[in-house]
Amino acid sequence: MIRAAGCVLWRHAPAGAGIELAVIHRPKHGDWSLPKGKLEPGEQSREAAVREVLEETGMTCAPGAELPTARYEVAGRAKEVRYWAAEATGGGFRPNREVDELLWLAPDAALTRLTYAKDKDLVTAFLATGPAA
């Protein structure tokens, strides 16, 4: 089993109305997704989610409510990804080896931009619980 963790990373919209979600572009896969990655040996899922957000987006975050776990297969191996809602608390994006672009989008635009149905389902679950849950 491949174990991974990630976040639906959000912030208050700079204009003061509503929220924005972080959506990342991974050139290796040519996709738009949510920040996530594999657990390191001995690492807890929530800790890994915060680390992956920082590594992929440059943002620190405060994890809140746990969201539904995604389960799927990758190259014939089962993969489980635990997710949290997480408010961005600081930092700044710099393109890196894994992620070459980060967009802060309104929820509807994020749903349109995301490549995978499982990510869209997570955003929908996040919106149903509310960002401060």
Per-residue pLDDT tens over the stretch 48-95:
999 999 999 999 999 999 999 999 998 999 999 999 999 999 999 999
64: its two tokens: 């809140």
Least confident of 9-18, 20-29, 113-122: 9-18
The structural architecture, per CATH, of the domain 2-129 is: Alpha-Beta Complex (3.90)
Radius of gyration of the chain (CA): 14
